[in-house]
Amino acid sequence: MENPFSLAGKNIIVTGASSGIGRQTAVSCSQMGARVVLIARNTEQLNMTLSMMQSPESHLVYSLDLADLDGMETVIKDIVGKTGKLHGLVNAAGISTTLPLKLISNEKLEEFFKTNVYSAIQMSRLFTKQVNVSTEGGSVIFFSSVMGIVGESGKTLYSLTKGALVSATKSLALEFASKKIRFNAVSPGVVVTPMSQNAVYSKDEESLNRIIALHPLGLGMPVDISNACVYLLSDASRWVTGSNLVIDGGYTAR
């Protein structure tokens, strides 16, 4: 029987592939047979990801600042020229912070929306162009967060961007259903990554234990999220669109 979770023959772009969940997603996709295009700013870290992947020679690496829209367009054109049409896009690049309202400036809003929302929307716009996407359709994943659906003090700025992606997922799913391009969001709880290890709550034991206690199954690992991405990119999820898949160790069950 054919494995419905296989990604063999699929060309998949992963942004934010230089560390954390983005890196693990690229690795997991390669293990499931996909040809993966890694995009992030840090070339050294991208090459590190590449070395962890199955058949490193068959994947592509692009160093790109996702705020550079013209650069993005050039890169996508180059990718399709080399791989042929695309089947999947994982928008894993993102930034996080804890900030009270009084410290949220227009500059901060701009920075967070540019990185977490604008880049994912623009990348999706390019991916869905007829010249770029497979005629069989495709799958786009937005990285939201439990903070996109529940609140936490000091998380307003981050929540704003993550909630926007959940909303976008639903409208885009309807807009592209006739083209068989599926849009879904993934909303992780706290996952052990360099980003979470640099967070305020990781700096002292008491805060960290409080965060761990909020997750009945403990903190997540990057592979817990990348496995969900493999599912959403594969034909196993062909009837899934407009969904927000919450993977949070029970965080939102309370």
Q: What positions carry a catalytic annotation?
A: 158
Residue 41 near residue 68 (C-beta atoms within 8 A): no
All residues at 6 or more sequence positions from 78 whose CB lies less than 8 Å from its CB, including other chains: 62
Phi, psi of 88 (to 5 degrees): -150, 150
Residue with structure tokens 């391009």? Answer: 181
Pick from 216, 230, 248: nearest CA to 7: 230
Pick from 89, 137, 91: nearest CA to 117: 91
- Which residue type is seen at 95? I
